[in-house]
Amino acid sequence: MTDTTAPHSAITRPRADAWPAPAKLNLMLRVVGRRPDGYHELQTVFQFIDHGDWLWFDVRPDGIVRRCAALDGVPEDDDLTVRAARALQRATGCPLGVDIHCEKHLPMGGGLGGGSSDAATTLVALNQLWGTGLDTDALAALALPLGADVPVFVHGHAAWGEGVGERLEPVTLPEPWYLVLIPPCSVATRTIFQHPDLTRDSPPITLADFLSGDVTNDCLPVVRREYPEVTSALDWLSAWGGGRLTGTGACVFAVFDDAARAHEALGNLPAALHGFVAKGRNRSPLLEPLADR
């Protein structure tokens, strides 16, 4: 099934005051070590795409933080948007509350960063709406305990990432078109990083190595073995120049120089596959509402 939203991949803004929570792609992911606390040392490259969720926020005077729509399998207190709002309250002593509305388009367990992006958008938007006045670095510090990917969404720039993904260096990359496929499965990041067959000692590379074509994702062999739906999607993309895995998956993508070719591939998707076309963005769409306020 193809995504027919227009223009290209952009999801229509549901309200004039809605804030974007864009997806990201990991264009490379290497596991270069394991820390004593069990976390993995990574190298990765993040780039945003112009496709994602939308959030809007109704400020409350009573300090209550409330999620206004259920999310399957995620209790309200565990929802990253709720946790982000409460973290900002605690850090700033803000007496205000909020009703959080989220229109979901990004799949859970897809490697597109949907939950992390929603959390970042919540922090950035409420910092404005509540007038708490934190700078970007302070918001990113609040973001890290919510998830390793949340800070890159707060900073809003394509980045070379190291550590658990929190040490970020902004980079300027080509902004191609992507065809992103969503296999009918969800991949738990924890499952992949705990898998005994995961490579954990890849030699580190440099940004120059990546730009020269080293786009290895060390999670790919494990995901291929454990998730046949991902393997099928990757095999289909091989006819269009090859596919790559974002993060730990399940989503996979192919790179195109122009929109027409990406849409041609999208139009040939078999009925069992779902996908969309999106434009790479070095500057996150989340920064645009900030410029307007």
| 132: nearest Cα among 99, 174, 90 | 90
> Is residue 112 marked as binding?
yes
Q: How many other C-beta atoms can be found within 10 angstroms of the C-beta atom of residue 132?
A: 18
Q: Quick check: 173 and 45 in contact, CB under 8 A?
A: yes
> Is residue 213 marked as binding?
no
Distance CA 32, CA 109 (A): 23
> Is residue 165 marked as binding?
no
> Is residue 117 marked as binding?
yes
Catalytic residue check, 24: yes
Sign of the CA dihedral running 137, 139, 145, 150 = negative
83 token code pair: 């946790």
> Is residue 111 marked as binding?
yes
Rounded to a whole number of angstroms, the CA Rg of the chain reads 19
> Is residue 109 marked as binding?
yes
> Is residue 113 marked as binding?
yes
Choice among 3, 50, 53, 149 that is catalytic: 149
Choice among 24, 53, 218, 279 that is catalytic: 24
Catalytic residue check, 104: no
For tokens 């993995």, what's the residue? 40
Q: Quick check: 237 and 160 in contact, CB under 8 A?
A: no
> Is residue 161 marked as binding?
no
> Is residue 280 marked as binding?
no
Which residue numbers are catalytic?
A: 24, 149
Binding residues, by number, are 107-117
Binding residues for ATP, by number, are 107-117
